[in-house]
A and B are shown apart, each in its own frame.
Chain A
Amino acid sequence: MSGVANLAYIVVIAAGAYTYGILTLGPDTGNGGFQQYVLGYRLPFFLAVIAAAVVGAVVGVLIGVTGLKRIRQDYQAMVMLVISIMAATVIGAAPSFLGGEPGLSLIPNPFANLSPATGDWAYVAMVAFACVIGYLVMRRFTSGPMGRALRAMRDDEHAAAAMGFSVIKMRLLTQAVGGAFGGVSGALLVAFIGGWSPGAWAYVETLALLTAVIVGGMGNDFGVSLGTFVIAVLLLQGVQFLPQIRSHTGLTEAIGWMTLGLMTIAFLWLRPQGVFRERRPRYGQPAVGNAAGGEVAEGHS
């Protein structure tokens, strides 16, 4: 939306996941001391999620700083991709910080005291609720004057600056908000799956998110949400339910990634605007003496 192809988005998700982990696992001397990490508190679930959002926002801003230089968007994307790879390498090489390559495990689930089936469905309900809240919050940024300003910055940052917009400030704002979203999603993910390591947040995961945006429709909130559901949930998680081929272990997962790559190429070639293209509101001309006028409909401009 703001014109930054953030290929390091998985890093803020990872930051949220690690934050949740080290704030809920308790001291690393617990569980026989088989894993090492910093902090090690036992905060309540919601506090840890809020902390994950804050850390995600901070990491998002730090990543965004790399995009402040006057470099072209394609170079910004490369810089962010490199950051993503570097971050995973550094975390993996420092075992006493966040568990290194083996990562963190036994991360507590907030519904652990319920029966497994009930706990799972309770978690689904909670995540669904978080998605609805997240969508509503996101709409504050993507619709109305703020969405207009962000789109202007995306289309031409120099012209936007000539209109009095601080491109740096707005980019950092979007990075912070996007980072907070990523941090929360990382926390919710890791609290459910119970473990997190550099292998879980390889840069290729960001490409999956990017595909979701391309397929759903850049600049269209509903399209992006649908794209995320189809790509990240139905496709990449769905392949796990396919029968494994004994002679080729891991082939089903590979089929998921291959399908994802083909979809990216196909959409960029055949329908770059995605399934749901960006739509702009139509504004009616105010009648004489009527200052109202206003937005008349979501149109097809």
Chain B
Amino acid sequence: MSSASIGGPGSAPVAEVSTATSGPAAGAGPILRVADLARQYGGVRAVDGVSFELQPGTITGIIGPNGAGKSTVLTVVSGFISPTAGTIEFLGKDVTRLPMHRRAQMGLVRTFQIARVFEGLTAIENLMVAVPQQKSLTVKGLLGGKRYWQSEEKEILERAWALMTTFGMADKANEKAGRLSGGQRRAVEIMRALMMRPKLLLVDEPMAGLNPKLTRELEEVFLTLRQQGLSILIIEHELDTVERICSEVLVMAWGKVIARGEMAELRTRKEVQDAYVVG
């Protein structure tokens, strides 16, 4: 297996990436079920009756031309905006009306199309902050002080360093995230999401702006995470990447899913080709 070194040379093998997820085992039913999802902006139906299911431990891709509604689907599934119609079930629970932070606490974690790091924090702090429901953030934690949460903080720090090392960014750990390059910010955002031990990771164009080498390394990271049981829903324009890592692909155009299947087979479908040419 090749090594992942998103941030630079000298990284540990990608096999060390570990989210220690506790997602449902394969065959335990879909991890995500989206039914008749719609989102309307005024008279524009950005998403129009989208339905799909994601199985545990799979990487599913969403592709389609610009304006197809891909990012809107991801944004609605994450809880960032509400759907106009339809339902979203995560781990068998209806989360359609749950706010984004509650979904994140359940393990439904997203990254953004343009990497959004906490610029005033250092890179490693960006990771350390991404552990929901820390003891230190409770009233007990505030009253008890450092002695109450010190051991938890050490464990968080250790995990954060392990990820920084794996992604080849150990030398950037104490640098303000606002000073990082685009690729490094992207890596920080993905590591931050992994710190949350997600069960389903929603990633929006993670390869955008990355060079081919970094793209392949990030693909390896995703494949390793999948082996560890993490489910991933990925929006990506780089179709070769989609073909290499996704077991199933949804093709969207005009707010609808117009085709689904394996990427190699979808490339030959006329409606998919038409969508890219016309859409």
Mask for A215-255, Cβ within 8 A of B = 1, else 0? 00001000000000000000000000000000000000000
Q: Which residues of A contact B146 (CB under 8 A)?
A: 144
Q: Which residues of A contact B134 (CB under 8 A)?
A: 145, 149
Interface size of B in residues (CB-CB distance below 8 Å): 49
A283 with B174, Cβ < 8 A, contacts A148-B129, A163-B129 known: yes
Q: How far is the CB of B91 from chain A (nearest CB, A)?
A: 15
Q: How far is the CB of B11 from chain A (nearest CB, A)?
A: 14
Q: Which residues of B contact A219 (CB under 8 A)?
A: 120
Do residues A294 and B157 form an inter-chain contact, with CB atoms below 8 A? Answer: yes
Do residues A151 and B100 form an inter-chain contact, with CB atoms below 8 A? Answer: no
Query: How far, in angstroms, from A148 to B137 measured CA to CA in the complex?
Result: 10
Q: Which residues of A contact B101 (CB under 8 A)?
A: 161-167
Which of B116, B136, B196 is the one whose CB lies under 8 Å from A146?
A: B136
Closest partner residue, chain A, to B175 (CB atom): A301
Q: Which of B104-112, B223-231, B249-257 contacts A (4 or more CB under 8 A)?
A: B104-112
Do residues B129 and A152 form an inter-chain contact, with CB atoms below 8 A? Answer: yes
Do residues A291 and B155 form an inter-chain contact, with CB atoms below 8 A? Answer: yes
A145 with B120, Cβ < 8 A, contacts A165-B132, A301-B174 known: no
Q: Which residues of B contact A166 (CB under 8 A)?
A: 99, 101
Decide yes or no whether B124 CB sits under 8 A from chain A: yes
Do residues B196 and A163 form an inter-chain contact, with CB atoms below 8 A? Answer: yes
Q: Which residues of A contact B78 (CB under 8 A)?
A: 162
Q: How many A-B contacts if CB must be within 8 Å?
A: 131
Do residues B132 and A159 form an inter-chain contact, with CB atoms below 8 A? Answer: no
Q: Which residues of A contact B120 (CB under 8 A)?
A: 151, 154-155, 219, 278, 280
A291 with B158, Cβ < 8 A, contacts A145-B134, A148-B128 known: yes
Decide yes or no whether A261 CB sits under 8 A from chain B: no
Mask for B86-105, Cβ within 8 A of A = 1, else 0? 00000000000001110011
Query: How far, in angstroms, from A141 to B111 measured CA to CA in the complex?
Result: 27
Which of B129, B170, B192 is the one whose CB lies under 8 Å from A149?
A: B129
Interface contacts beyond A167-B101, A294-B157: sample of 10 additional A-B pairs, CB < 8 Å, sorted by A: A145-B136, A145-B141, A155-B118, A156-B118, A158-B112, A163-B196, A280-B122, A280-B125, A283-B128, A301-B175
Q: Which residues of B contact A (CB under 8 A)?
A: 78, 80, 99-101, 104-105, 109-112, 116-122, 124-126, 128-130, 132-134, 136-137, 141-142, 145-146, 149, 153-155, 157-158, 160-161, 165, 170, 173-176, 192, 196
Q: Which residues of A contact B (CB under 8 A)?
A: 140-141, 144-146, 148-149, 151-152, 154-156, 158-167, 219, 278, 280-283, 285-286, 291-294, 299, 301
